[in-house]
Amino acid sequence: MKIKYDYSLVFSFFDWARLRKDTTLEARCIVIHIAVASKNPKIAHELTYEFWKKPNLDINVSFSNFFEQLVYTFKDWGSDPLVFDIFFQALVDVGYFDEARNLFDKMLSYGVVISVDSCNCLLSRSSNNMSDDGGIETALKIFSEFPEMGVCWNTASYNIIIHALCRLDKVKEAQSLLLQMESKGCFPDVISYSTVIDGYRRAGELERAFEVVEEMITKGLKPNPFTYNSIVVLLCKNGKAGEMKKAFALHNKMVQMGLTPNIVTYTALVDGLCKRGEVETANELLQEMCGKGLQLNTCTFNSLINGLCKAGNIKQAVKMMEDMELAKLYPDAITYTTLIDAYCKAGEMVRAHDLLREMLDKGLQPTIVTFNVLMNGFCMLGMLEDGKRLLNWMLEKGIKPNATTYNSLMKQYSIQNNMKATTEIYRGMNTQGVMADSNTYNILIKGHSKARNMKEACYLHGEMVGKGFSLRATSYNLFIKGLYKKKKFAEAKKLFEEMRREGLAVDREIYNIFLDLNYDDGNVETTLELCNEAIEKSLVDKNTKDTDQT
């Protein structure tokens, strides 16, 4: 009692005592009171936490003992109700949420309300409680119940709940809390807004994210650069009519506010512009970047080069690659692949090949994309022998082709009605252990159907269905026609029904086949139904483009 005001002496004494033997709970509570009274809440918390984190605690007994002792020693040793807050926080920190809640209620019956900061600890910890699915629900429950008991939530409390709601993808509810906050006289801050913005951004609801940004700015709050940048990048990636404009508006606002868009933002803008063929504007933006002292990186250049290629300006793209080297930024595999692709598409295979050589000479490793681009080039130009040579070269060098590589070759061979060569390539694919994809099956079934190899087509179809792949409309049409020609009416009919069920575009020729079949069988009703459908569809067909990929 005498040394109670000399707290450092008390702590030394307590440390000394507990090294020798387990101290009594009463002694611990006394020291906790003294720590709080002497403005050492951290020590008080440590001492409380130390007790509660002990494993194998009988929670119920410990809780009533601890509470009893803390109350019993309260008057004589400190009389600061903060000890109960500290007790509450320690319980939360150890994860005893139910006991914390119990303490809250007990204190309330004494007329003491646990502080909002401590309640925030409970909100935050229970909403982040991963081991418990109901964690967030618990937090929401506390959030709605505590105000009735005198807790007055602050901005931090709202932010915890807003964050939790966003994590549950309930961004709209989170947003409505922003309004509710204000009506309670507790103003949303940068964190509140940014959390909602990021929630919308992650949900892909850019329109709404953008609205909240506007609202935030109106309120005189400065969005954080991270949120800003990520929205600009997303807007650009979407790259739709309209969205690029918004990206720019945001970008300009950022600059006005003195926030520096980073290189990623700029690159996204450049990329978005290039994809829409606005290479001029992209170039201007590059000047702006350089003016800001931002170091252009390889990605930025690659976007521009890609843009120039897409706009059909290969010459300028090649010049850009040279500029890149001047800027001591070395073209990478992506740069080369982009240019090789452009040359292939322009039918300039010699130049494409030269670039490949240059790339190899520089020690750059071509990727599977590079090879597929070349393969596609050869195939589109009907240079199938070269394509096959490329395939063999890849295999010799130990570069594994993928399904796309094989598909290019098979597609062209089957277009030329050379099912022997197509099958040979397919066998090679199997030997190499490359898995056939949906495209592979569509190509093969179409080819075999045209060649009336219905046995092969049926076999492959069975295999494809087993793997969960499905036929595209053009493949269906050819497959059905092939079956019909081989008088496999039942199979043909089954596929025809399937096609109609899936709402795929049926060829007029196929309709005619089934109209005739039904008419011959005397199914007048079905015949009429098909007739109507065919007429309806043929009207619709005129307005739909054939988007078939193979």
Sign of CA dihedral 279, 209, 171, 142: positive
Quick one: 437 or 491, whose CB is closer to ligand NAG? 437
Is 262 near ligand NAG (CB under 6 A)?
no
Pick the piece of the chain touching ligand NAG (CB under 6 A) from 182-190, 320-328, 398-406, 523-531.
398-406
Stretch that binds ligand NAG, among 156-164, 174-182, 287-295, 365-373 (CB under 6 A): 365-373
In the complex, least distance from residue 313 CB atom to ligand NAG, rounded to whole angstroms: 23
Task: State the DSSP string of 271-285.
Answer: HHHHHTT-HHHHHHH
Closer CB to ligand NAG, 151 or 352, in the complex: 352
Among residues 400 and 508, whose Cβ is nearest to ligand NAG? Answer: 400
* Residue from 113, 403, 504, 515 binding ligand NAG (CB under 6 A): 403
Task: Quote the CA–CA distance of 318 and 354 in Å, as a whole number.
Answer: 13
Q: Between 26 and 437, whose beta carbon lies closer to ligand NAG?
A: 437
Nearest distance, CB of residue 267 and ligand NAG, angstroms: 22
Q: Which of 303, 314, 270, 312 is nearest to 289 (CA)?
A: 270
Measured from the CB atom, is 48 or 372 closer to ligand NAG?
372
Q: Per-residue string for binding with ligand NAG, 425-444, x by CB under 6 A?
A: ------------x-------
Regarding 399 and contact with ligand NAG (CB under 6 A), the answer is no
Residue closer to ligand NAG (CB basis): 404 or 449: 404
* Integer CA distances (angstroms), 361 to 194, 325, 330, 356, in order: 49, 16, 14, 9
Range in contact with ligand NAG (rule: CB under 6 A) among 84-92, 399-407, 417-425, 535-543: 399-407
In this complex, which beta carbon is closest to ligand NAG, that of residue 189 or of residue 437? 437
Cβ contact 401:433 at 8 Å: no
- CA torsion sign, 105 to 106 to 112 to 118? negative
Cβ-proximal residues to 146 (8 Å cutoff; 6+ apart), any chain: 104, 119, 153
| Helical segments of 110-242, H only | 116-127, 135-145, 155-167, 171-183, 190-202, 206-218, 225-238
What minimum distance in Å lies between the beta carbon of 425 and ligand NAG? 16
Stretch that binds ligand NAG, among 190-198, 367-375, 407-415, 507-515 (CB under 6 A): 367-375
Taking the least distance from each CB to ligand NAG, the nearer of 174 and 436 is 436
Could you write out the DSSP letters of every residue in 229-295?
A: HHHHHHHHHH--TTHHHHHHHHHHHHHHTTPPP-HHHHHHHHHHHHHTT-HHHHHHHHHHHHHTTPP
278 binds ligand NAG (CB under 6 A): no
Cα 190 from chain centroid (whole Å): 24
Q: Which two tokens stand for residue 162?
A: 């807003």
Which CB atom, from 265 or from 370, has the smaller least distance to ligand NAG? 370
The answer to whether residue 402 forms part of the interface with ligand NAG (CB under 6 A) is yes
Q: How far is the CB of 464 from ligand NAG (least distance, A)?
A: 15
Contacts (Cβ under 8 Å, ≥6 apart) of 488: 454
Residue 337 makes contact with ligand NAG by CB under 6 A: no
* Nearest distance, CB of residue 375 and ligand NAG, angstroms: 9
From CA 435, how far away is CA 466, in angstroms rounded?
14
Q: Is 404 in the site for ligand NAG (CB under 6 A)?
A: yes
For ligand NAG, the closer of residues 112 and 434 by Cβ is 434
Number of residues in contact with ligand NAG under rule CB under 6 A: 7
Nearer to ligand NAG, 123 or 305 (CB): 305
Comparison of 163 and 275: residue with beta carbon closer to ligand NAG:
275
Amino acid at position 522, single letter:
G
Tell me which residue has its CB nearest to ligand NAG: 372
- Chain-centroid distance of CA 218 in Å reads 30
CA nearest to 481, candidates 510, 453, 518 = 510
Q: Cα-Cα-Cα-Cα dihedral of 525, 526, 528, 531, to 10°?
A: 180
Answer yes or no whether residue 368 interacts with ligand NAG by CB under 6 A: yes
Asked if 369 interacts with ligand NAG (CB under 6 A), we say: yes
Cα→Cα distances 387→66, 147, 342, 412, Å: 81, 73, 17, 10
Instruction: Identify the residue among 229, 267, 372, 412 touching ligand NAG (CB under 6 A).
Output: 372
Closest-CA residue to 38 (of 70, 69, 11): 11
Is 173 an interacting residue with respect to ligand NAG (CB under 6 A)? Answer: no
Calpha distance 425→428 (Å, rounded): 5
Using the rule CB under 6 A, give the single segment among 327-335, 402-410, 508-516, 522-530 that binds ligand NAG: 402-410
Nearer to ligand NAG, 403 or 421 (CB): 403
Site string for ligand NAG, 460-489 (x = CB under 6 A): ------------------------------
Q: Minimum distance between the CB of residue 333 and ligand NAG, rounded to whole angstroms? A: 12
Burial 342-363 (b: 16+ CB within 10 A, else e): bbbbeebbebbbebbeebeeee
> Are 36 and 82 a contacting pair, CB within 8 Å?
yes
Tell me the closest approach of the beta carbon of residue 437 to ligand NAG, in angstroms.
6
Residues making contact with ligand NAG (CB under 6 A):
368-369, 372, 402-404, 437
